Chain A
Amino acid sequence: MDITMREYLKVANGNIFYICGVVIALIVFLQALLFIRLSFKEGKKHGLSKQQMIKAVRTGATVSFIPAVSILISLIAMAPVLGIPFPWLRLSIIGSAPYELLAAGIGAKAMGVDNLGSEGFTREVFANSIWIMTLGSFWAVSIVVFFLKKYQKGYSKFTSDPGWKNILINAAFLGVFSVFIADPVTTGGLPLITLLAGAIFMTIFAILITRLKIKWLKEFALTFSMILAMVVAAVFSNLIL
């Protein structure tokens, strides 16, 4: 069996991208620290005590620990197909794991490749995935940069139906997800087995969460069921071979 690493992965794990990751992480830290300083100054004026404010930082940190571990697990799951530094730097900023994988999938699909990291996933396909992951977040960032200030000065005008807004977002995502669900359904084989396994595990988790009230599982349900589905894929592909 061929053990050679896919060619693009040598590039993807290049040192330069770890350096990019460090630069991005530093900007993230810098922003958080600047806002902590500004908020401490302003908080004092409004009668918040130092202890209260430190407690707020600590609460935010502790509440986020478990979801952060879940992000880390999805990073580990992405590493074999996208290398280590890219998932790290992408998950440090802007997107969540599902968004990044979706964007990577769109980049690959635009070049006619359905599976990330598969035979046809060349350096160019990899580059296209990375460009789409990066540029896809352009809209969200520019809307906040250019329009947030204006919007917050008079948002009472926009208090339209929040229930509908929520459904609209979900519907837009569902439209794209459907395209990626349709693929394995029509090609069949290992992708279809994996898709069905993911659906079954998610259903089991949903039952555990609602029936047995295992609340902490909620954070991990998507990550766990994705990984268990990949385990099923590994078992099946090795059995068929």
Chain B
Amino acid sequence: MRNKEYSYDNSVHKMGRITLSLGFLASLLPPLMLWFIYRIFPPLDSLLKGIFNISFFMLPVSIVEVLTFAPILGAGAMYMSYLTGNVSNMKIPSAAIAMEAADVKSSTKEGEIVANLAIAGSIIATEIVLVIGVFLLLPLSDQLNNPLIRPAFEQILPALFGSIGAYYILKEWKLAVIPLTLAILLSIFVGSKYISVIIPVCVIASMFSARVLYKKKIVKPMDK
């Protein structure tokens, strides 16, 4: 029996590693097509600057997230979740509700299997919704460039970050004070040309201020 369980775990890791790597490689296809078919490639220094900036926070965030999610989700669920994203808002709730409905505990083998199945179901449902949506959207693709609405879509980043900013400030405003003040000061006095300096500085300052606030018990753990 023990031997069999071990072989299940091994096949999960093997299958997961192959499919997840395959998915990432496939995600490289679109930018490669831009390069090889349309001959469009960004200036190398801008690309490297961008990679540095995104890595500067995605690397620590990814490490901590994997450490956090791995004990909650089983191995199979992890490989599926990392291929398709939306872990905390979709994958974990799906798994939790399915385990409750099936009356199994999360730390058992039964729980792990129910979680796998629920997450697979969640992925299939999401992809079907997206495919239907894209299909319905196709005839409208020219309308989306209507000059009346176009300025609105160019403001998608301020629209998103205004909403996200309010969300954080309502949840735990004390965490936002240092990074926000610093970012505004840097934006005025340094300018967004030096983005490769500004992002790392703000991320470090934000994490440092969070550490101090947490140690002094000024902020409490959040629920999400």
Cβ-neighbour of B57 out of A98, A115, A134, A173 (below 8 A): A173
Query: Which residues of chain A come closer than 8 Å to B214, judged between CB atoms?
Result: 163-164, 167
Per the bound structure, the CA–CA distance linking A177 and B20 in Å amounts to 28
Cβ-neighbour of A79 out of B20, B144, B193, B221 (below 8 A): B144
> Given that A128-B50, A203-B170 are known contacts, is A32 also in contact with B120, CB under 8 Å in the complex?
yes
Query: Which residues of chain B come closer than 8 Å to A149, judged between CB atoms?
Result: 13, 17, 75
Whether the pair B154, A116 counts as a contact (CB closer than 8 A) is: yes
Known: A92-B84, A124-B40. 16 other contacts (CB 8 A): A36-B117, A38-B15, A46-B113, A56-B121, A57-B120, A65-B125, A75-B134, A80-B145, A99-B85, A136-B54, A168-B60, A195-B158, A202-B162, A202-B166, A233-B155, A237-B151
Whether the pair B210, A181 counts as a contact (CB closer than 8 A) is: no
CB-CB contacts below 8 Å: A89-148 with B: 89-96, 98-99, 101, 103, 105-107, 109-112, 114-118, 123-128, 130-132, 134-141, 143-145, 147-148
In the assembled complex, the CB of B130 is this many whole angstroms from the nearest CB of chain A, namely 6
Count class of interface residues, chain A: 35 or more
Cβ-neighbour of A176 out of B130, B149, B203, B222 (below 8 A): B203
Is A190 close to B, CB under 8 A? yes
Cβ-neighbour of B116 out of A39, A123, A132, A186 (below 8 A): A39
Q: Scan A31-47; emit 1 where CB is below 8 A from any B CB, else 0.
A: 11111101110110111
Is A11 close to B, CB under 8 A? yes
Query: Which residues of chain B come closer than 8 Å to A2, judged between CB atoms?
Result: 147
Whether the pair A127, B42 counts as a contact (CB closer than 8 A) is: yes
In the assembled complex, the CB of A47 is this many whole angstroms from the nearest CB of chain B, namely 8
Count class of interface residues, chain B: 35 or more
> Given that A11-B38, A92-B130 are known contacts, is A117 also in contact with B154, CB under 8 Å in the complex?
yes
The total of Cβ contacts below 8 Å across the A-B interface reads 562
In the assembled complex, the CB of A129 is this many whole angstroms from the nearest CB of chain B, namely 8
Q: Scan B104-123; emit 1 where CB is below 8 A from any A CB, else 0.
A: 00000110011011111111
Per the bound structure, the CA–CA distance linking A185 and B158 in Å amounts to 9
In the assembled complex, the CB of A113 is this many whole angstroms from the nearest CB of chain B, namely 10
Whether the pair B210, A107 counts as a contact (CB closer than 8 A) is: no
Counting from the closest, the 4 A-B pairs by CB-CB distance are A198-B162, A163-B221, A60-B121, A60-B118
